[in-house]
Each structure stands twice: as structure tokens, then as C-alpha cells.
Structure 1
């Protein structure tokens, strides 16, 4: 898992990769939960994640973890793939 922290209010998950043989073991869920917990501990107000629109598994995972779509970036990838930006606001 790779994250980027902005000193004011941004905690951004830059990437989560689970090797193919280890998928469907809730590793992605635990990684995303860890990012949210870390952001809360550090006093951030939200966690952001950007997901390629064709990555249905990650999109479903983020939505199940209370992330909400906040922005769509069309033709962002070199092959024209779109990016969905999601954010989870922390209490």
C-alpha cells in the first residue's frame, strides 16, 4: 500500500496491489481499513482514493468501505481509461 499525506487535510491512498494468488482473502479490505485508521489517528478529515473505472473489484471494495464518488476524470490514462475519485469523510 502506498499513501501520500498532505499537512492540512489530505490523506490519499495512491495504490493497493494484492498479488493474484492472494486475492479474495480480504487483504485489500484490511489494507484500506489500515489506511483509514492511520488517517484517523493522525487527525485527517478524509481519505481519498483514485481508481481506474475498469477496476470493478476496487470500486466495489471502496464503496463497501463507505467511500463516495466525488469526481470523474475522463480519458485520464494513456489508453483513454477513466479514473473515479472517491473520498471517505472521517468523523
Structure 2
């Protein structure tokens, strides 16, 4: 959920799923910002393509985001950063 003047609230069934959604939302926002800087017309794919992409993402793995979460924890450990 995007909150005007307050940022974003992201949720998931687990902490690693929530982090997965947050990371990919940030990447999507960066992509859109970079695209908007080019002043070109945006051509959106069909609704069917978007729905299939969402379905593919959500069924990619059973424990969505767990492998990513483990990788992020290893990065934090490598740099001696505590949560």
C-alpha cells in the first residue's frame, strides 16, 4: 500500500516473502523512474500478459523469497551488520 507522504507498507505471509515483495517493488519503481526520464510513450502489455507474469511470479517456488532472504542474511553477516 502506498501512503501519501509516508512511504509504502508491504506485507506477506512470512518475513522473507515480505522482503521479496519489497525488493521487487523497489526495482519496479526504479525502472519506472528511469523510463519516465526518457520522455517516451509507455506501451503497456495486455492484461493477459500482466496476469500471467503475476501468476508465474507467485508460483515460481513454494516458499517465495526464502532463498533470497538467506542470501541477504549472508550479505549482512559478511559485512557484520546486525538486524
TM-score range for the pair, normalised by the shorter chain length: 0.3 to 0.5
Q: So what's the TM-score if we normalise by structure 2?
A: 0.32
The answer to which structure has the higher helix fraction is 2
Larger Rg: 2
More strand by share: 1
